[in-house]
Amino acid sequence: MTSLRYRIHFLLLLCGLLAYAKDLPQIKQAQSKKPPQVLLLMDYHKAKPNNLQEYVMSEKLDGVRALWNGKQLITRNGRVINAPTCFTKDFPPFMLDGELWIGRGEFEKILALVQKDCTHCPCHSPSTDKHQSLWDKVGYYVFDVPDCGLESSQKAPKPCTLFERLSVLESYLSGKAGKATRITPIKHQPITSEKELFAHLRDLSKQGAEGLVLRKINAPYEQTRSTNALKLKLYEDTECKVIAHHKGKGKYASKLGSLTCEQEITANGAKRTLRFKIGSGFSDKERDDPPPIGSIITYKFYGYTKNGVPRFATFHRIYHNP
């Protein structure tokens, strides 16, 4: 009896090991997937560029960053964006870096859209599904061609200039004459002075733009944060994690009054966790249905206090839901 019981246990263990061995390649493949290395923007005031005439500027779009790897769109975190096949059918076989964008102030819409599986959604035909119909308004605004059109078998991208890289895409699109495509190369304009730069920033901000991006013309595409690619806004913004809700007072007695955020920062070479409250910037709708605990939000602020706390922190939008 004891011998039979051991045999049964052995057979069950063997079955379990065989099942694990069968799934091991998929497990290793899933674990090996890493977010793509992409160019990241540095704050203009931290970079302090010496010669602005070496840069060009364009509007900073408040969309979803998307990398086209020649076959599919993926986020900067490595998640596949299941866009309609009709949306990407005329995309090139080489890599692109850009932004999926609907329009100014529409970040929440595009964020919700890319989280849906819309592989088989129509691009143009009328639809009763709001997520399907929204794809008709989405454009892919490209600001770089990382591999400069080289074959994927080559290990290192050609160190060509920004405009040389973008010309690869423009040449490809010119061959698609007469065909509708959702790709739009972002237009850049020269900078003559810092005075002109900030005047342009103020004009765009009044129109609802998020800010400006500055790119160094002769710099290669870099897969890191660089002084050759800068962001400039009338305010600063960053992300934090929601860890608590607090009820309000008066007219907000039954709604969200404020929330507590948590953020990892590095000060004087040491890492520490910063916790602070944000109580402004919420609409009535957002106070009724606040960002859930565990979500990542973007907030605006204007410098730091002497204790390192963001000054005048204001809710901007939900960046990522748990």
Shared domain for 95 and 148, answered yes or no, is yes
Does some domain include residue 32?
Answer: no
Q: What is the pLDDT of residues 102-119, one digit of tens each?
A: 999 888 889 889 988 888
Q: Which domain holds residue 64?
A: 58-193
User: How close are the terminal C-alpha atoms of the chain, in Å?
Assistant: 51
307 and 248, same structural domain? yes
**Length of the chain (residues):** 322
Do 141 and 66 sit in the same domain of this protein? yes
Kindly report whether the global pTM for this prediction surpasses the value 0.75: no
Asked if residue 48 belongs to a domain, the reply is no
Pick the more confident residue, 183 or 12. Answer: 183
Whether the pLDDT of residue 178 is over 70: the answer is no
Give the pLDDT mean for 308-322.
87
- Weakest-pLDDT range from 34-48, 62-76, 116-130, 300-314: 116-130
Number of domains into which the chain is organized: 2
- The pLDDT assigned to 68 comes to 96
Q: What are phi and psi of 142, to 5 degrees?
A: -95, 130
Residue 23: inside a domain: no
Q: Judge contact between 285 and 318, C-beta under 8 A.
A: no
Examine the domain organization and report whether 272 and 172 are in the same domain.
no
Confidence tier at 17 by pLDDT (50, 70, 90):
very low
Q: Per-residue pLDDT for 16 more than 70?
A: no
Same structural domain for residues 173 and 247? no
Q: Which positions are catalytic?
A: 60
Judgement on whether residues 162 and 246 belong to the same structural domain of the protein: no
pLDDT value for 27:
33
Distance CA 275, CA 261 (A): 6
Residue 32 has pLDDT above 60, yes or no: no
- The CB density around residue 65, as the number of other CB atoms within 10 Å, is 17
Partners of residue 264 on adjacent β-strands: 273
Is residue 120 exposed (0-12), middle (13-18) or buried (19+ Cβ within 10 Å)? exposed
Mean pLDDT for the chain? 84
- CATH label of the domain that carries residue 257: 2.40.50.140
Rounded mean pLDDT, 90-96: 93
Residue 231 lies inside a defined structural domain of this protein: no
**pLDDT tens per residue across span 214-249:** 999 999 999 999 999 999 988 888 999 999 999 999
Ordered DSSP codes for 188-218: -EE---HHHHHHHHHHHHHTT--EEEEEETT
What does DSSP assign to residue 304?
B
Alpha helices by DSSP H, listed for the chain, are 2-32, 44-47, 85-88, 107-114, 130-134, 162-174, 194-206, 284-288
